[in-house]
Structure 1
Amino acid sequence: MTPSPTVKSVNARLADELAVREAQVAATVRLLDEGATVPFIARYRKEITGSLDDGQLRLLEERLGYLRELDARRTAVIASISEQGKLTDDLRTALLTADTKSRVEDIYLPYKPKRRTKAQIAREAGLEPLADRLLADPTLVPEAAAADFLGEDVADAAAALDGARHIIIERAAEDAELVGAVRAKFWSDGTLRTSLSSSDAAKNPAAQKFRDYFEFSEPLEKMPSHRVLAVMRGEKEQVLSLNLDGGGDDVYHAMVAQTLGVDLTAKTPATPWLATTVKLAWRVKLMVSAAVDARVKLKQRAELDAVSVFAKNLKDLLLAAPAGTRTTLGLDPGFRTGVKVAVVDATGKVLDHCAIFPHQPQQKWAESKAMLGALIARHGVDLIAIGNGTASRETDALASELIADITASGAKAPAKAMVSEAGASVYSASAYAAHELPGLDVTIRGAVSIARRLQDPLAELVKIDPKSIGVGQYQHDITPGTLARSLDAVVEDAVNGVGVDLNTASVPLLARVSGVTDTMAEAIVAHRESTGPFRNRKALLKVPRLGPKAFEQCAGFLRINGGDDPLDGSGVHPESYPVVRRILDRAGVTLAELIGDERSLRSLKPAEFADERFGIPTVTDILAELEKPGRDPRPAFSTATFAAGVEKVADLKPGMVLEGVVTNVAAFGAFVDVGVHQDGLVHVSAMSDRYVSDPHEVVKSGQVVKVKVLEVDVDRQRIGLTLRLNDTPQQRGGQQGGGQGRAPGQQQPRGDRPKSNRPKDSGRRESAPPSGSMAEALRNAGFGR
């Protein structure tokens, strides 16, 4: 059925939501429908979209899918009701103006084909007129009125009244306006309450991480995502029982009564019977559906927040500073099984590998150091990458001693850095790792991955499912599809934002480039291996199954360094090369002379080179790219230096100032590795002297920071840290943040503190406690990495 002209189109609705012109939306939708990717549109189609950025484009793409699904469902519902012969003008208008899927379903509910309900059976028994009479005339005596409806299918007055009640209850439960109002009221006034699932549940040691929720309540609207997911995990593990309470029943009774036209205060014969019917309609139908809806909404909101946190952390990790093309020695630490060692060259190719046993129980310290020294000398190692898992500090001490010995001998010693090994074991056991490193043991593959991560985090991490990288908040409790879509978009944006070396990129990295499928990526690598390195971007068109459309999407993001055309090593799209030629002609110089000449390039006016196809935004980007062609947007490489002699939590003392690496950022703070196997927590209130609403405003995963130790709980392995180095551990007195002073206007914490034991590749955070100061929160930690 053709939508009413009074109903806004999808494009108009998107324009309203994004606060942009409808023409911008229409142009973007057309590009998306033609198969263009968000990175391509954001980078190379600015004139068409009016310079919408990648964030706006991602939101537009997501909302476009939702609104199209909404319109499709709306059309199907209208057709269904029309086929029943029940479609009225008012009903059509209500459906056409419904702005959410849930609203459409609420309106459709009375007309939706369903199994025979008790109300339907009562209608078939001819009891609907009885329900109508009692609602219309409460002066009737229910039992007397029911006497007129007795028959073969209705044995007595009680059965008749029971049937009439089912009919009235179903009417209330299927009234779209009432259902919507009850849902909104339940959400705004509702509370989530938790309790122990059984008297024996608390006896289970594993249940202790949920002890702050053994008796807990919080308003639905105010409950943050990490607490929602924590209590839902507690329920899943059969430790907690959850109950959603919408508030006092009286207000809901009044809402139902008003919808049914029942006066609960009237002194008439039918009023008690009608009042009971109203209460049952609420208790049996509306309350249950409202609680289910609120629970779904609560989880969806929590998931969106958690996915947002994960996405930000993943982006920061992917865009972490690369050490670059330097020969690197990777160490995957361990005690009993030894430290796995791999040396890779500047391109990531494995040169050598072995295992050493410097720690207990073998304790071959000197022998291990000698073996590493020989490898460093033989291969000219520039960097040592140490995985941050079990035995990492002990292995770091070994590397430090070795570096000191090399320096003392007068030789050039390599630098060392601690590297996150989250997901390394997932990669090691993957089919791609087996294909990429077929002759190596799974354990050695982990050391190779650690070395390559230091060289180029992005190129190595794309080989791992983003969910396994381990920088999320309750990612194992999030609907897989919701998480995957968001994380895939983050990876795609990161890869295309940096650009990819066409002649060295792996299949997983190429597959993340705009317009390149897995099959195309494999074909590109196969072509490269059979014919040699690509000399120019046009050669991509010789790759099987990579046609003009795919070339258009991917060419600008693929780099060829040292090829036939210097522009192929830049972010300038081949379609824009004629613009560069015009610039060269006007400037009267060669490309080699112009590239990198900031003064000359900045003197040029983009408007002078723009035309109908390539407008000022594109020309501006071209000039910026020519200033620093192929510029890597990632920060410069740096490493944290862990304090000597500080290797375990017991070595920490309040007041110490240490260097560390941010390992994860949550809604309530950041986790920092200071080299003692346990991440410390910097609460959001201890990040700045100003108000901080989002920790990502201050720090990001992988960032090197200086922190001060505020509190240490050795027994429970808890560390309280602050980024405000003027804070003192003695500042307590009920102030938040482990006792540190609170900046004016800074929010009080909700007390979500992490447990920071770090099982390898767990990627998990355990449940977080609901309230208290930082000191209390650290004592009651419930988040583990």
Structure 2
Amino acid sequence: MLTIAEQIAQELNVNAVQINAAITLLDDGATVPFIARYRKEATQGLDDNHLRHLAQRLSYLRELEDRRQVILISIKQQDKLSVELEKLITQADNKTRLEDLYLPYKPKRRTKGKIASEAGIAPLANKLFNNWQLSPTTEAKYFINEAAGFSDVNAVLEGACYILAERFSEDASLLAKLRAHLLKQAHLISKLIKGQDKAGAKFRDYFEHSEKLKSVPSHRMLAMLRGRNEGFLRLNIDVDPGQEIATFNSAERILIEHLTLRCLSTGNKQPATEFLTKLVQLTWKAKLNVSLSNELVTSLREQAETQAIDVFSNNLADLLMAAPAGPQVTLGLDPGLRTGCKIAIVDGTGKLLHTATIFPHVPQNHWDKSIRTLVNICRQHKVELVAIGNGTGSRESDKLIAEVIQFFKAEESKIQLTKMIVSEAGASVYSASEFAANEFPDLDVSIRGAVSIARRLQDPLAELVKIDPKAIGVGQYQHDVSQSQLSKTLDDVVEDCVNAVGVDLNSASAALLTRVSGLNKTMASNIVAYRDSEGRFTNRKQLKKVARLGPKAFEQSAGFLRITGGDNPLDQSALHPESYPVVEKILSLLELDANKILNNDEQLKSLDIDQLTNNDFGEVTVKDIIKELAKPNRDPRPAFKTATFAEGITTMADLTLGMILEGVVSNVANFGAFVDIGVHQDGLVHISSITDKFVSDPREIVKAGDIVKVKVLEIDSSRKRISLTMRLDEQVTEQTKKPSQPQGASSTANKTKNHSSNKNHQGKSPAQQNNSQGRPQGKKVDNAVMGNAFADAFAKLKK
């Protein structure tokens, strides 16, 4: 049998030596970012993706091994552990197989079969199963036991049936055959629960829905599960979809074949044929169908959850690694109508300089006064950037800032403003958080949101780490998936992003420091406290003076903490202090000092790597050191760019078919990308309309934050859906704009931007839908569940 390390090595297609080295480091308390960055020599270059998979599988396989030992001990104590069974249990490579093998030996409650066995009916069951020539009614007379509740022949035969049915339902090899058969051909059936058609209208696509079990996509699976959980849908598995069933269905025929009941398969009638027919049907319908259906639906749910979490984590990573605008004076504007627009100005380091509230929109309409206020404070604080939240009133506020920009241009002012609409998802969560209260105890909650909006334009990563990743709202169905798995995955994403970029030790917040490899909340707070009491850090060695930050934490964190303008120029780079001896040797060979070695690519290329390697530092590590010296403190994030929304296009009513617009990718799902085009409703670019070539994953082409050009293909105002294409030469079929949302329809989603209302388009691209017009079609089925069932959740989340 393969060891855990060998099994993971096969899955990752790497050597077991690499896996063993990584496991040793993880067990020793090293973090994934630290191993990926500073232990490449030991792991022979395993990256953070390999290491995350390794850590996840290591946990699963160790749990599997622990469970295996518990099962072996349990069966051994029952004195039922044969050599063959022990071999099968030892070879089981997943929890499902292991539990199948344990099923016959697992302690059970008193079932109908167990009660019948206690009444002495088991010998009858064995006789009838082994000898089909016996007459069940005749043999059953000898087993009547009125005291045990088996007072007639029918009761006795029913008891015998249950004894055998329960025995067969615990047959591991039979379970494996049926499981494979169901996955091959069975369909998942969704039906409306009687009387729930109005209450469950948002799930109407699934009132009569059938789909091959193994190919149900994650978003539809989660939608149907939500419908079932809310009491509107009933889910079951049809083993023979669309087929007329005679006596036995295909699953029951597999059962007959497995049990070698030739009298049923050949039609050769025997005295026990009727009894065996009932036995087979009972075994499938009462036992195996129920257990396997539950198991497979659970498995589909887990797979759907994993895919949904993957989508969320990928989008979160793209958002966190979005281009920072940099240390520029920034005005954050949190738009509002009745309550006014909240203004906060921060300097290049994120320090709050000024706050205000203006009322340019209805009902006050102080437009000119608001422009004067903005001009004055921009001039006073030399504002360079304006970040406008994308909530209610954002396009109106964008127009306001545009007039301010025109004012400065008209007077040829030195002030040159750049405006950008940014996502304000999670800003309200930050505003009401303990962290914000500690940072701005005297500031109104609504103003704190404007501060967050300004800072997230300067540095999205540094600001968004202050918010629970689940509150950022870039995932699908986050309330329908395992919350513990979601939190763990998103925390890993944040950790990887923070450590990939690195952290300025003298300006980072406690929230950002907490995400650094090797540090926790207490250590991060202690670093800030030390900074406040002792002044800025001038070298990394001072970290050792921070309370509770021991040698292990220093080892894990030091390379990710940067000091600009300190005693040692190397402290501003991603070089780990443990590698400084190698750098000193390089300085000696090149006869340069530390300041002149940084960015000196030409001199570094002349080095002989063999002169620098030793037992502690191999070739891989030395090459990494030279690469970092050549370009110290590289930021892996892209250059900052802004999208320009079309003038006068502020609502869906302003859109026309064929219109080409610039927008920002706000979210990416398995079936396409959602693009913010500035109308408070993201449009969907179906995966088939992203590019002319075939792609299996939209993220191969686009990611959250990308600026793209799109063409409008379809507008459905009633369901708040916009279909777009990135293939600008794609033909648009003329259509009439669909009417506004009818009275009585869900309006919660209308109050805020949301992606979910477009998610029904995943089956066809808009062009395919349009091309089908004019042909005879059956009853139209609208996939409203994606637009309504999850719209409320997104609306509340973003609100």
Residue type of the alignment partner of 1:323: A
Give the SS at the match of 2:615.
coil
- Per-residue deviation at 1:260? 3.3
Q: d(CA) in 2 for partners of 1:216 and 1:484?
A: 32
**Residue in structure 1 matching 2:709, options 703, 706, 710:** 706
Cα shift readout 1:628-671 (whole Å, capped 9, x = no counterpart): 21111101111111111111112122222221111111111111
Given the alignment of the two structures, is residue 233 of structure 1 paired with residue 226 of structure 2, yes or no? yes
Cross-structure match for 1:51:
45
Kindly provide the amino acid, as one letter, of the partner of residue 185 in structure 2.
D
Matched, 1:28 2:9: no
**Structure 1 position 532, deviation (Å):** 0.9
Structure 1 pair 696–169 and aligned structure 2 pair: CA distance change class (3 A): same
Report the CA distance between 1:255 and its aligned residue.
2.3
Which of 506, 522, 547 aligns to 1:519? It is 522
| Alignment partners' CA distance in 2, 1:585 and 1:266 | 94
Q: Distance in 1 between matches of 2:544 and 2:231?
A: 57
Partner of 2:160: 164
1:7-30 CA-partner distances (Å, limit 9, x unpaired): 221112112222111111111100
TM-score, normalising length: structure 2: 0.91
| Letter paired with 1:393 | R
Q: Distance in 2 between matches of 1:642 and 1:761?
A: 16
Residue 140 of structure 1 corresponds to: 134
Q: Who is 1:749 aligned against?
A: none
Change beyond 3 A, Cα 1:780–1:182: closer
Q: Structure 1 residue 114 and structure 2 residue 108: aligned?
A: yes
Q: Which runs of 5+ in 2 are unaligned?
A: 739-746, 771-781, 795-799
Q: Distance in 2 between matches of 1:12 and 1:643?
A: 56
Tell me the distance in 2 between the aligned counterparts of 1:435 and 1:187: 54
- Give distance in 2, aligned partners of 1:462 and 1:390: 24
What is the correspondence of 1:662-741 to structure 2 with a 5 Å cutoff? Answer: 662-730=665-733
Which residue does 2:480 correspond to in 1?
Answer: 477
Q: SS state of the match for residue 360, structure 1?
A: coil
Q: For 2:187, give the aligned amino acid.
A: T
Name the structure 2 match of 1:71.
Answer: 65
Aligned residue type for 2:426:
G
State whether residues 470 and 762 of structure 1, in contact with CA within 8 Å, keep that contact through their aligned partners in structure 2: no
Alpha-carbon shift at residue 209 of structure 1 (Å)? 3.4
Pair 1:768-2:771 in alignment = no
Change (3 A) 1:593 1:731: farther
Residues 188 and 195 of structure 1, relative CA distance in 2, 3 Å threshold: same
Structure 1 counterpart of 2:507: 504
Asked if the contact 2:721–2:758 (Cα under 8 Å) also holds between the matched residues in 1, the reply is: no
Are the aligned partners of 1:213 and 1:769 in contact in 2 as well (CA < 8 Å)? no
Q: Is the 8 A contact 2:324 2:639 kept in 1?
A: yes
* Other-structure match for 1:130: 124
The aligned amino acid for 1:197 is I
Residues 422 and 761 in structure 1, CA contact (< 8 A), matched pair in contact too: no
Whichever residue aligns with residue 667 of structure 1, its letter is N
Q: Retained in 2: the 8 A contact 1:210–1:767?
A: no
Match of 2:342 in 1: 340
Query: For residues 611-642 of structure 1, what are the alpha-carbon distances to aligned partners after superposition, in whole Å with 9 as ceiling and x for unaligned?
Result: 22211221111111112211111011111111
Q: Distance in 2 between matches of 1:632 and 1:501?
A: 12
2:211 equivalent among 194, 218, 229: 218
SS in 1 for 2:210: strand
CA contact (8 A) 2:712 2:724 kept: yes
Once structures 1 and 2 are overlaid, which stretch shifts more, 422-431 or 280-289?
422-431
What SS does the aligned partner of 1:202 have?
A: coil
Residue 550 of structure 1 and its aligned partner are, at CA, apart by: 0.6
Distance in 1 (CA, whole Å) between partners of 2:558 and 2:759 is 46
Task: Please state if 1:540 is matched with 2:543.
Answer: yes
Matches of 1:765 and 1:23, distance apart in 2: 49
Matched, 1:634 2:612: no
The equivalent of 1:81 in structure 2 is 75
User: Is residue 3 of structure 2 the alignment partner of residue 9 of structure 1?
Assistant: yes
Q: Give the match's secondary structure for 1:284.
A: helix
Match of 2:92 among 87, 92, 98: 98
C-alpha distance in structure 2 between counterparts of 1:652 and 1:251, whole Å: 53
Rounded Cα–Cα distance in structure 2 between residues aligned with 1:694 and 1:770: 13
User: Can you list the C-alpha shifts for 1:686-730, whole angstroms capped at 9, x where unaligned?
Assistant: 111111111101111111112222223344432222212222324
> For residues 780 and 142 of structure 1, do their structure 2 counterparts lie closer, same or farther at Cα, with a shift above 3 Å needed?
closer
Once residues 491 and 760 of structure 1 are traced to their aligned partners in structure 2, the CA distance between those partners, rounded to angstroms, is: 26
Pairs aligned (count)? 755
User: 1:552–1:500: structure 2 CA closer, same or farther, 3 Å change rule?
Assistant: same
Q: Please tell me the residue identity of whatever aligns with 1:454.
A: L
Residues 732, 767 of structure 2: 8 Å contact kept: no
CA deviation vs aligned residue, 1:151-201 (integer Å, no higher than 9, x gap): 4434232222122111101101111111122122112222112222234x3
- Per the alignment, do residues 763 and 342 of structure 1 end up closer, same or farther by CA in structure 2, a change over 3 Å counting? farther
Per-residue deviation, 1:425: 1.0
State the shift of 1:150 in Å. 2.7
Aligned to 1:467: 470
Q: Closer, same or farther in 2 for the Cα pair 1:776/1:213, shift >3 Å?
A: farther
Structure 1 residues 777 and 470: CA distance shift in structure 2, 3 A: farther
Deviates most, 426-435 or 554-563: 426-435
- Structure 1 counterpart of 2:335, which letter? P
* Alignment correspondent of 2:318: 316
Pairing 1:134-533 to 2, within 5 Å after superposition: 134-151=128-145, 152-153=147-148, 154-199=150-195, 201-204=196-199, 207-247=200-240, 250-263=249-262, 264=264, 265-411=267-413, 412-533=415-536
Distance 1:572 1:756, change over 3 A: farther
Structure 1 spans left out of the alignment, 5+ residues: 1-6, 733-737, 739-754
CA distance in 1, matches of 2:123, 2:102: 23
Is the deviation greater in 768-777 or in 370-379? 768-777
Per-residue CA deviation, residues 588-608 of structure 1 (Å, 9 max, x unaligned), is 222222211222223334343
Contact 1:642 1:660 in 2 (8 A): yes
Q: What letter is aligned with 2:340?
A: G
Matched, 1:556 2:559: yes
Q: Which runs of 4+ in 1 moved over 4 A?
A: 755-767, 775-781
Question: Offset of 1:780 from its aligned partner?
Answer: 4.8
Whether the 8 Å contact between 2:539 and 2:568 is mirrored in structure 1 is yes
Aligned partner of residue 473 in structure 1, secondary structure: coil
Distance across 1 between alignment mates of 2:655 and 2:144: 83
Shift in Å, 1:268: 0.9
% identical aligned pairs: 52
Alignment partner of 1:193: what SS? strand
Give me the whole-angstrom Cα distance separating, in 2, the residues matched to 1:764 and 1:99: 38
8 Å contact from structure 1 (residues 679, 757) kept in 2: no
Shift of the alpha carbon at 1:322? 0.4
* CA distance 1:176–1:121, change in 2 (3 Å): same
The Cα offsets for residues 245-274 of structure 1, whole Å up to 9 and x where unpaired, read as 222652211222234342313311111111
1:484 CA displacement: 1.1
Classify 1:520/1:8 alpha carbon distance in 2 versus 1 (closer, same or farther; 3 Å).
same
Q: Kindly provide the amino acid, as one letter, of the partner of residue 223 in structure 1.
A: V
Residues 664 and 705 in structure 2, CA contact (< 8 A), matched pair in contact too: yes
2:544 and 2:310 map into 1 onto residues whose CA distance is 38
CA distance in 2, matches of 1:659, 1:208: 35
Match of 2:619 in 1: 616
Q: For residue 643 of structure 1, what is the aligned residue in structure 2?
A: 646
Structure 1 residues 760 and 649, CA gap change in structure 2 (3 angstroms)? closer
Alpha-carbon spacing, 1:612–1:417, altered in 2? closer, same or farther (3 Å): same
CA distance in 1, matches of 2:220, 2:24: 41
Q: Indicate conservation of the 8 Å contact 1:37/1:515, yes or no.
A: yes
CA contact (8 A) 1:664 1:701 kept: yes
3-state SS in 2 of match to 1:768:
helix
- One-letter amino acid matched to 1:166: Y
Letter matched to residue 222 of structure 1:
S
Which deviates further from its counterpart, 425-434 or 714-723? 714-723
SS in 1 for 2:117: helix
Render the CA deviation track for 1:402-441: whole Å, top value 9, x for unaligned. 1100111111221111110111111111111111211111
